Amino acid sequence: MIAFPPTSRGRVEEFLTCPVKMGGSIGYAYSLTKNSDNAKDLVQEAIFKAWKSAESYDSNVEIKTWFYTIIRNTFLDGLKKRKFRKEDQIVRDREVLEQIPTDCDPVEILMARERTESVRKAIENLALPYRIRIVMHDFEGISYEEIAIILGNSRNDASHKVKEAREKLRQDKNLASLVA
């Protein structure tokens, strides 16, 4: 195990080189880009930026919060440059097929895939402010306080948007059959 110095740079280097600590970074990036290749590119670019700016890391801020802010800002910069393209259906289908266990009942696989696809589509159809917050909170386990820091909003805004996103998902007619 590599021992990193207890400096800002050392804490950043430790975080960026530990897959467990990097946690849901790609999941968060995917919620922004809606494309796995773009999400990986986004995280890679954010890692580079974090590495370059490690000296400026403020240890009073949770490092994951700091890194997610870099991901968000990198994504927004990429949008301005039209860097991130829409998801390619063929790529998505291939990824889904690769994740299917071979020893499962085909009917169960089909039903699970349809449920997953319905939820994914419903979340993707949410407006970006709702989608970002619900993915960060409900899928990545990020607290409302950390979401507020990452997005530069209040804790109340974060919790309110997550609550609204959940309500929009409950009202989604495509998800009604899953709940019934």
pTM of the model: 0.54
pLDDT(14) > 80: no
CA distance 38 to 172: 27
Mean of the pLDDT values across residues 125-149? Answer: 87
Higher pLDDT: 58 or 6? It is: 58
CATH number for the segment(s) 100-179: 1.10.10.10
Mean of the pLDDT values across residues 124-149? Answer: 86
**Element (DSSP H or E) covering residue 108:** helix 106-124
DSSP 124-155: HTS-HHHHHHHIIIIIT---HHHHHHHHTS-H
Q: Where are the domains of the chain?
A: 8-80, 100-179
Q: What is the pLDDT of residue 55?
A: 83
Residue partners of 58: CB distance under 8 A and separation at least 6: 8, 66
Q: What CATH class has 8-80? A: mainly alpha
CA distance 84 to 77: 10
Tell me the three state secondary structure of residue 106. Answer: helix
pLDDT(106) > 80: no
Higher pLDDT: 85 or 66? It is: 66
pLDDT(5) > 60: no
Q: What is the pLDDT of residue 23?
A: 65
pLDDT(104) > 80: no
